[in-house]
Amino acid sequence: MVAGFVLLVLAGLAAAAAALASADADGWSVHSAEVRQAEARLSRLVQEAETGQRGYLLTGEPSYLDPFTAARRELSAAEAELRALTGDNPEQQARLDQLRPIIAGKIAELTQTVDRMQAGDQAGALATARANAGRDLMGRIRTAIADFDRAEVELQTARADRAAFRRSTLATVIVIAVLLAAALAWLVIRTDRRRTHELRATNEALRREVAQREQAEGQLRQAQKMEVLGQLTGGIAHDFNNMLAIIVGNLDMLTRRLSGEDARARAMAENALGGARRAAELTKRLLAFSRLQPLQPQPTDVNRCVCDMSEMLRRSLGEGIAVETVLGGGLWPALVDRSQLESAILNLAVNARDAMGGQGHLTIETSNAMLDQAYADAHVEVTAGQYVAVSITDTGAGMDQEVLARAFDPFFTTKAVGQGTGLGLSQVHGFAKQSNGHVKLYSESWVGTTVKIYLPRSHAAPAARPDEPARLSTDLADRKVLVVEDEAGVRSFALSALRELGCWAIGADGAEMARRTLAEQSGIEILLTDVVMPGENGRALVDSIRHAHPDLIVLFMTGYTRNAIVHNGMLDPGVRLLSKPFTVSDLARELQAALEEKRRGQVASSDVAFGASASSS
């Protein structure tokens, strides 16, 4: 069978060669026809020049000169065309060399008579025309052109014969190839039947691969769209937070200083502060969608988290919503920021309540989940592995496919104007992605919706949560604090808030001024610094002074940070962060927590030193 195919290939190559040779011969035959056409054109132009000259001499009418003038103008181009076509034929080129001066002499003779006629010497012009010189030149031209044409005809005939021979050869080769093909057909048919099943299986696998690839490309386009939107909203949130830090901070200071007697002014200030806080919550959601909020993931008992939230959800959602929790047995710990997980569950529960119109059934379910490689291949942003799944299911109106495709887009909402920001699901989506997890949405119109959040499994045990948060009693009075902030309005509020708390506050507008202040001022215990600043950022400032001031307590503040104290969406270990905007109470709580943490560290160090001393004695 292989030998037969080799013979068939050789026959095919021979047929191809014959076809090329035949085409080449046909091409040369066509070329000869083009040469004869160019030769005829040259002869025709000479004849038209002579005809125009005679008409002018006989009638004196200038219009008869048009053929003469046109022919004389086109002769050079016609000769050049004929010379170019016969460039590969030295014999025809020699004939053209002989023909050229004869045509030139004829045109000169015609031009001479025309010039005499135009000068008014009609008799002289006619006498010259009746002389034998012009007739002899025309005869020589016809003879030369006839010789040229005869040679080209002979050449064309030879080429046509060659083309016919090659076509017959081609036909013979094709017949041989067809016979070989017929001889091999029964072998191919027998092999084809055996391989048909394999081919069908391969085609089916290819269809599945194409479908998976199209799905993956669609998910990639969606991920790229979300990334671009995230970068845009992240930048907006950064600028908003700086402005809101000034507004919220100063309104908080104002409400603290208003006397209880001026109830109207106090109510107006508190109303303004509430609006500013809602705006701050909006920017927080923007950062969550952008995956730019700093997270502090810890091994978390998700069952405990859901249990702690269930009663609060029942109160928040209203009596018309029946809340059911289904907690998975043997649930793995999840590596997640608990406060952000609670915020995501609350967002989804509120969305579910609105979808159910205040009446329906809400189910929160936890379970262990294994996302295999096949699932990861079908969802480009997913890493195969073990996850803890939190599912929130409602019995609301559900979503059609068009709404489902845009559900995670920021500011997209189906609610009436003023009833939603369109950031609830986008915030959950950003939180899940930033937590190295995954979120999946299932919905059916007039049946309900299920949102599944997959959180990465932690192999460490969850830390025990205290029943009540420890009360901070660290005194802030007379603490010396250096505030580093390039935004003058934010720096002014921070200084005022610290002084309100009894601290001795010093301001610096950048890293260079902060270093000078630390060198000149003694007794500074706390550094409160912005992260994102022109030139040197807050983290670089802290790294540069840490060796000279090892006991300095550092508290970062920012409205948006990336790659300075947050990497891969996670807050760097040992970093304390105060998010903008913040109030005086928020600032006091963070300062007290930082001081308490330092105090506990010193006590632990003293205990270790005391134990080592006692054992040596």
Is a pLDDT exceeding 70 seen at residue 232? no
Residues of the chain with CATH 1.20.120: 2-189
**What is the structure's pLDDT at 388?**
95
Token pair listed for 251: 């309104």
What is the tens place of the pLDDT at every residue in 135-151?
778 888 888 888 888 88
Asked if 591 contacts 526 with a C-beta cutoff of 8 angstroms, the reply is: yes
Mean pLDDT is lowest, of 233-237, 249-253, 596-600, 601-605, for 601-605
**Of 427, 453, 431, 430, residue with least CA distance to 440:** 453
Written as one string, the DSSP assignment of 26-61 is HHHHHHHHHHHHHHHHHHHHHHHHHHHHHHHHHH--
**What is the structure's pLDDT at 300?**
92
| Distance of alpha carbon 511 from alpha carbon 566, whole angstroms | 19
Q: How confident is the model at residue 482 (pLDDT cuts 50, 70, 90)?
A: very high
Average pLDDT across the chain, whole number: 80
**What is the structure's pLDDT at 512?**
93
Residues 6+ apart with CB under 8 A from 403: 414
Residues 6+ apart with CB under 8 A from 167: 22
The residue that leads in pLDDT, 474 or 301, is: 301
Annotation: CATH topology of 298-456? Heat Shock Protein 90 (3.30.565)
**What is the structure's pLDDT at 470?**
46
Is a pLDDT exceeding 60 seen at residue 615? no
Place of tokens 């937590």: 435
List residues bridging with 567 in a β-sheet: 570
**pTM, entire model:** 0.48
Q: How confident is the model at residue 455 (pLDDT cuts 50, 70, 90)?
A: very high
Other residues' Cβ atoms within 10 Å of the Cβ of residue 275:
13
Mean pLDDT over 422-441 rounds to 81
Other residues' Cβ atoms within 10 Å of the Cβ of residue 543:
11
The residue that leads in pLDDT, 368 or 265, is: 368
Q: How confident is the model at residue 480 (pLDDT cuts 50, 70, 90)?
A: very high
Residues of the chain with CATH 3.30.565.10: 298-456
What is the tens place of the pLDDT at every residue in 294-335?
677 889 999 999 998 888 888 888 888 999 999 999 999 999
Token pair listed for 45: 């132009």
Q: How confident is the model at residue 468 (pLDDT cuts 50, 70, 90)?
A: very low
Percent of the chain residues topping a pLDDT of 70: 81
Is a pLDDT exceeding 80 seen at residue 281? no
Mean pLDDT over 194-220 rounds to 79
Architecture of domain 480-616: 3-Layer(aba) Sandwich (3.40)
Q: How confident is the model at residue 609 (pLDDT cuts 50, 70, 90)?
A: very low
**What is the structure's pLDDT at 386?**
94
Architecture of domain 2-189: Up-down Bundle (1.20)
What is the tens place of the pLDDT at every residue in 348-398?
898 888 888 889 999 999 999 999 998 888 887 888 999 999 999 999 888
Asked if 71 contacts 49 with a C-beta cutoff of 8 angstroms, the reply is: yes
The residue that leads in pLDDT, 68 or 468, is: 68
Write the single-letter amino acid at 459: H
**Of 127, 244, 227, residue with least CA distance to 489:** 244
| Distance of alpha carbon 523 from alpha carbon 214, whole angstroms | 64
**What is the structure's pLDDT at 394?**
92
Q: How confident is the model at residue 15 (pLDDT cuts 50, 70, 90)?
A: low
Asked if 157 contacts 112 with a C-beta cutoff of 8 angstroms, the reply is: no
**What is the structure's pLDDT at 485?**
92
Q: What angle do CA 27, 142, 52 make, to 5 degrees?
A: 105
Q: How confident is the model at residue 617 (pLDDT cuts 50, 70, 90)?
A: very low
Residues of the chain with CATH 3.40.50.2300: 480-616
Asked if 549 contacts 437 with a C-beta cutoff of 8 angstroms, the reply is: no
List residues bridging with 524 in a β-sheet: none
